[in-house]
């Protein structure tokens, strides 16, 4: 019995930017090799940016400059190439990439490679962000409109939402 068929494989090298189709990829303990090893950092909020909050980020696409090595991962991140909606193409090593991403986002952002897996600093919300959390911001982050019910979290351990509230994104 056929349950489904894979039409295309896609990889997203930079969290919240568009990705692209690939012929093949390896899957390991952390998922798709090379997926989301880069992130866009919102400088003013001191958090990893999200396309939910800055949807224009999805209008840029990213791909790796070279084949992704088998040992790629947090702390060992290969260079990416970003194509912007106006056709400009910049690499992660290009000093102008931060300004171009900031122009696209409409606020100051920085392209940031993921640090080693035991360093959660890029995912952790700042004290100010945690203090400013509201039901409206939780709704935005979960993609739940004002007229929808929030998800039932009763099946989660009490410590899970508390831990998740400390981070802007999953590690």
Q: What is the pLDDT of residue 118?
A: 76
pLDDT above 70: percentage of residues in the chain: 75
Q: How far apart are CA 158 and CA 136, in angstroms?
A: 21
Q: What is the pLDDT of residue 137?
A: 65
Beta strands in the chain (DSSP E): 9-11, 20-22, 27-28, 31-32, 38-42, 47-48, 61-64, 80-83, 89-91, 109-113
Please state the rounded mean pLDDT for residues 105-117.
92
pLDDT tens digit sequence for 3-43: 999 999 999 999 999 999 999 888 988 889 999 999 999 99
Q: What is the CA radius of gyration of the chain?
A: 17
Q: How confident is the model at residue 130 (pLDDT cuts 50, 70, 90)?
A: low
Q: What is the pLDDT of residue 171?
A: 45
Q: What is the pLDDT of residue 28?
A: 84
- Of 168, 170, 171, the closest CA to residue 48 belongs to 168
3-state secondary structure of 32: strand
Please state the rounded mean pLDDT for residues 74-79.
94
Q: What is the pLDDT of residue 164?
A: 55
Q: What is the pLDDT of residue 141?
A: 60
Q: What is the pLDDT of residue 149?
A: 81
pLDDT at residue 63 above 70? yes
Please state the rounded mean pLDDT for residues 84-94.
97
Q: How confident is the model at residue 153 (pLDDT cuts 50, 70, 90)?
A: low
């Amino acid at each position: 019995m056929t349950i489904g068929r894979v039409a295309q494989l896609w990889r997203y090298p930079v969290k919240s930017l568009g990705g692209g189709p690939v012929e093949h990829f390896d899957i390991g303990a952390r998922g798709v090799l090379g997926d989301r090893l880069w992130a866009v950092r919102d400088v003013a909020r001191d958090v990893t940016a999200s396309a939910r909050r800055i949807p224009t980020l999805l209008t840029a696409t990213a791909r790796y400059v070279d084949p992704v090595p088998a040992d790629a991962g947090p702390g060992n991140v290969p260079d990416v190439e970003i194509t912007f909606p106006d056709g400009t193409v910049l690499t992660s090593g290009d000093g102008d990439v931060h300004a171009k991403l900031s122009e696209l986002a409409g606020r100051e952002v920085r392209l940031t490679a993921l640090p080693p897996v035991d360093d959660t600093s890029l995912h952790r919300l700042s004290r100010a962000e945690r203090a400013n959390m509201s039901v409206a911001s939780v709704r935005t982050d979960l993609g739940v409109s004002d007229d929808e019910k929030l998800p039932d979290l009763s099946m989660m351990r009490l410590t899970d939402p508390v831990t998740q509230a400390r981070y802007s994104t999953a590690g």
